[in-house]
Structure 1
Amino acid sequence: MAEARDPAPSLAEEIAVRLRDQVTGGTLVPGQRLSEARLAAELDISRNTLREVFRLLTREGILRHEPHRGVFVAVPSMASILDIYRVRRLIEVPALAQAWPGHAAVARMHAAVARAKELQHIPDWRGVGSANMEFHAAIVALTDSPRLMQFFAQVIAELRLAFGLLNSPELLHQPYIPRNAEILGTLEGGDPAGAARMLETYLHHSERAVMEAFARLG
């Protein structure tokens, strides 16, 4: 019997990935209105395809539709941020605890740490944030689960929306550059359980910092 294969992604799904990546990279920011005509022309797709993209990303919580006004990049709530961190702990900590230090995704973690260190000297804090997102995506890639990696891509896109609301990206991202390097070193030293414990503490501190900064916005 031939092995079953996952169906190829549709054009709308491929474009949704591209727009989600723009959110993760900080190009699309919370509250930004998306022009259907301009975006369809830029992406060289029909408006019908773009509307399907909008529906997909609205279901993920990355976009929102306002009747008679259009489509906007979503603005996260405090409740959604708390839920994002809950999900991160459930996915990232076990992924790291069970990781093989020789896994190919460790090279991605290295590259992300190096990129963040390089960008902090420019400084380019939005770029540092993107490198940090890549570091955590690489942690999930240690699981070798395409479905988990796809789901996590949605989670970090929502997280990046929360980061985009904050006024002090340096204070948010700078402390985690050495912490990422420390977690990576512990993993490569043959102690994935120790690296996972460090990550759990890291996520707790990150959640608290984001929530405190988010609360000040109000």
Structure 2
Amino acid sequence: MDPIGELADDRALLGRTSTAERVADILRTRIAEGFFPPGTRLSEDGIGGALGVSRNTLREAFRLLTHERLLVHRLNRGVFVRVLTVDDVADLYRTRRLVECAVVRGLGLGLGPGLEEPLFVLDALAAAVAEGQEAARNGDWKGVSTANIHFHRELVALAGSARTDDLMRGVLAELRLAFHVVDDARALHEPYLQRNREILDALESGRYDRAEQLLAGYLDDSRTRIVAAYAKAVDAPET
């Protein structure tokens, strides 16, 4: 896989009014998808040439992503995709539990938009569940991971808050840095296919307390498994 070559395909997305924010959005997506794994040095010349943007625009995009904790600047060495610490991973899960459980609790209190039509607003969640099941049938465990991210992003979107959406987008993008380090994607993600389905079922039936309970248990179990797997991966000796 040639990540720089892949970026050239994204050039059309910039249009004639390219901005650092759009460049950052493209790079954020590519980092989350694993095109630039943790520890990768990002080439200004290569990326700038692939996207057709100026060095200043690219540096501003790098600055934005550094602020989001996806990149890190190392003096006299350049800009690199960040490698998370074990504490980072645990903290991301603490943030997820606070945000996601609060969103589900808010649904039960009628704090979200459009709740008079719950089956309509849950369509995106159902689509993410179906996406994960289809990926599993095809043995595409990276796809299962992506579908799982989509499920939780759409869950938070039920709050109808652009600010919360932005927060969660950053949290999930950062968490993907941990997923890319862990080798056994199937063992990591397969157990949560059914659990997503159960959370969706509870929401569709209006059992918001039950959905929150299931979600909290899900996130606690996921944190334990992923922190342990990540700690093992980053401590593994190089071969």
> Relative to structure 2, which stretch is displaced further, 23-32 or 40-49?
23-32
Q: CA deviation at 1:52?
A: 0.4
Q: CA deviation at 1:104?
A: 4.9
CA contact (8 A) 1:26 1:126 kept: no
Give the equivalent residue in structure 1 for 2:51: 43
Q: Which amino acid aligns with 2:161?
A: S
Q: CA deviation at 1:103?
A: 6.6
Q: 1:110 to 1:209 in 2, by over 3 A?
A: same
Give the equivalent residue in structure 2 for 1:185: 201
List gaps (5 residues or longer) in structure 1.
Answer: 1-8
Give the equivalent residue in structure 1 for 2:191: 175
Aligned partner (choices 56, 81, 91) of residue 89 of structure 2: 81
Displaced runs of 4+ in structure 1, greater than 2 A? 23-28, 97-101
List gaps (5 residues or longer) in structure 2.
Answer: 1-16, 108-114
Give the equivalent residue in structure 1 for 2:3: none
CA contact (8 A) 2:119 2:204 kept: no
Q: 1:143 to 1:208 in 2, by over 3 A?
A: same
Aligned partner (choices 58, 63, 80) of residue 55 of structure 1: 63
TM-score, length of structure 1 as denominator length: 0.91
Q: Which amino acid aligns with 1:170?
A: R
RMSD: 1.6
Q: 1:83 to 1:103 in 2, by over 3 A?
A: farther
Q: State whether structure 2 residue 129 is matched by structure 1 residue 108.
A: no
Q: CA deviation at 1:27?
A: 2.6
Q: CA deviation at 1:72?
A: 1.1
Q: Which amino acid aligns with 2:184?
A: S
Aligned partner (choices 104, 107, 118) of residue 134 of structure 2: 118
Matched positions, count: 210
> Relative to structure 2, which stretch is displaced further, 91-100 or 17-26?
17-26
Give the equivalent residue in structure 1 for 2:29: 21
Q: 1:10 to 1:87 in 2, by over 3 A?
A: farther
- Quick one: percent identity of the two aligned structures? 41
2-structure distance, mates of 1:141, 1:104: 13
Q: CA deviation at 1:25?
A: 2.5
Q: CA deviation at 1:197?
A: 0.8
2-structure distance, mates of 1:171, 1:53: 35
CA contact (8 A) 1:128 1:173 kept: yes
Aligned partner (choices 220, 224, 229) of residue 204 of structure 1: 220
Q: 1:114 to 1:180 in 2, by over 3 A?
A: same
Higher relative contact order (CA 8 A, sep 6+): 1
Q: Which amino acid aligns with 1:37?
A: D
CA contact (8 A) 1:60 1:154 kept: yes
1:39-86 Cα distance to aligned partner (Å, 9 max, x none): 112222111100000011111110111222221111101111111111
CA contact (8 A) 1:105 1:139 kept: no
TM-score, length of structure 2 as denominator length: 0.83
Q: Which amino acid aligns with 2:69?
A: G
- Secondary structure at 1:87 match in 2: helix
Q: CA deviation at 1:191?
A: 0.6
> Relative to structure 2, which stretch is displaced further, 183-192 or 95-104?
95-104
Give the equivalent residue in structure 2 for 1:5: none
1:147-188 Cα distance to aligned partner (Å, 9 max, x none): 110111010011000111101110001001111011001100
Give the equivalent residue in structure 2 for 1:34: 42
> Relative to structure 2, which stretch is displaced further, 163-172 or 61-70?
61-70
Q: State whether structure 2 residue 199 is matched by structure 1 residue 159.
A: no
